[in-house]
Chain A
Amino acid sequence: MPAIWTATALFIAAYCLVFGSRLHRTFSAMVGAVAMVIVGREMGFYSPEAAIEYIDFETIALLAGMMVHVALLSETGCFRFLSIKTAKLTGGSPWKLAATLALVTAFVSMIIDNVTTVVFIGPVTVLIADVLRINPVPALLAEAIMSNVGGVGTLVGDPPNIMIAHAAGLHFNDFLTHLFPVVLVVMIACLFGLRLLFRRQMREKSQHLETVRAMRERDAIRDMRALRLSLAGLGVTLALFLLGEPLGIAPSVAAMAGAVVSLVLIRPDPDKVFREVDWTVLIFFASLFVLVGGLDGSGVLDKVAAWTSGFGRNHPGGASVAVLWLGAVSSALIGNIPTAAALIPVVSRMGGLGIPVGPMWWALALGVGLGGNATPFGGAANVVAISISEKTKHKITYGQWMRIGLPVALISCLLATAAVLVLPW
């Protein structure tokens, strides 16, 4: 029993550190992981060898592979190309600009990580809004929100989905058939919600379209050859994602295979490419896995699964909805990755007890993915959008985010709840 309480206390302390702003979240998770291993070894419920076993290298390799794709693609200028091309189609309408750029962000976020998408599309959005003399905030907010929503639709769109896929043995196509249609409906609902919430800022059409029309999106592409070859490598990865189930190829291998194809074809400076890989995020993941592993080693997860199994067995629909909302609220408060890292093993244990957890996995993916929109710190893309706005005359305040993000997150989660209850998962 002391092991359970000690591991729980360490876990809560580490999560408080991750949530707080005193120490970077990766350092916080590392402190928690190291403390868990040392204390667990002393008390006999954990060991360094067990900690290594708990690191989900499938998730880390998949993320690393996709980061190589991002590093190669972002160098080519393709995100600037996409943003300018899209803006030209909107004819100076603030609503069309926000909606189309948000849709582009959402679809790109289904393959490329949300932060990268907003980091590259956000600043060009601000420039275009500025030369059109319109407020960039609706478009920036819509992009961050829709990148979070779009990411839920595929296995690789959001890190929690990657973790869920590995834990539950789900394939890329499972996400396409289960979550993608739901996400499309949620995206449409979010756009309507954003239109309503931003109705005042969306009234007047810009009279300064000529500057945007004069922009040459082709010139935004720095290296057409590298772009073609990067897309070829990404195409290999996508094809292997789609064919992964029949061919028995894991998503991590698919991501790495495409990345290797791109690297061999383009032959970029390796130091430059690997510097672009976000090691901070990868170490954060590894630390969280070690931390949660200690919780499992102490027997906490078995206890939690045993406590909740009665409810899960008797009310499977209710349990899925509970997981969705617990995931959403926790994601809004501490972020989607720590939430997923904590909840996945619990759902997994419940499955081990014979409870039908199939719908629960989808509920968890929807909850942690959509709940993050409620607060400025619920998703990394939110933080990026706010920091971009701070370089303009229209700063997004935390209050402003909550006025828009919270209702949008509520609408999304209500729709997701309906999907969990109605769809035959």
Chain B
Amino acid sequence: MTTEVITVAAGTPLSSVLEVFADRVIGGIPVIDEHRHVVGMITKKSLLHLFMPEYLDLIDDFSFVDDFGVIETEPLEDFAQALFLVVDVMEKEFERISPEASLLKAAVVMDRTDCSVLPVAGDDRVLQGVVTRTDIFRAVFSPQQD
């Protein structure tokens, strides 16, 4: 588990989050309230959805098109004009894992939910850290130290 975690508040402007994602190689950021309770997750995937027209979800294969023409830049223009906050985009339903959970449990949850960052919090929902895929690789594949 990584205990030094970058977090954001629900009222943070989304532009600040974009800067974090642009500067660092991280898949997701926990959103916390003033008591450090985890209230959501903001991921690169949720941000990607912001730039895509919603109806594209209904088409499962885009092999027939390379360039969407005039609609390519439209969502970006909409995004630039609107004042989005983290709360507008964060995933309110997300997986979390307890500090007592095993490595295998964390790996299984990540595999099934396709998330790369899991917030670690107990029943009190207070954020204690995050588990990333890199954390699991380090724990499993690094040489054991005696």
Residues of A within 8 A of B (CB): 77, 80, 84, 122-124, 126-127, 130-131, 133, 208, 210-211, 214-220, 222, 388, 391-392
Contact = CB atoms under 8 A, between A and B. Distances in A.
Interface residues of B, number: 17
A219 B63 contact: yes
A219 B62 CA distance: 9
B77 interface: no
Question: At the interface, is chain A mostly helix, strand, loop or mixed?
Answer: helix
26 contacts: A80-B59, A80-B61, A84-B64, A123-B55, A124-B59, A126-B58, A127-B55, A127-B56, A130-B53, A131-B68, A131-B70, A208-B70, A210-B69, A211-B65, A211-B68, A211-B69, A214-B65, A214-B69, A215-B65, A219-B63, A220-B64, A222-B61, A388-B55, A388-B58, A392-B54, A392-B55
B57 interface: yes
Interface string B63-103: 11111111100000000000000000000000000000000
A391 B63 contact: no
Contacts of A131: 68-71
B67 to A, nearest CB: 7
Given A131-B69, A133-B70, A208-B70, A217 B55 contact: no
Contacts, number: 59
Contacts of A211: 65, 67-70
Contacts of A126: 55, 58
A214 B67 contact: yes
A64 B19 CA distance: 53
Contacts of B61: 77, 80, 220, 222
Contacts of A210: 69
A222 B70 contact: no
A129 to B, nearest CB: 10
A341 to B, nearest CB: 31
Contacts of B67: 211, 214
B58 A220 contact: no
A388 B67 CA distance: 22
B53 to A, nearest CB: 7
A133 B74 CA distance: 11
Given A131-B70, A219-B64, 5 more contacts: A84-B64, A122-B58, A133-B70, A208-B69, A391-B53
Nearest to B65: A215
A124 B56 CA distance: 9
A388 B57 CA distance: 10
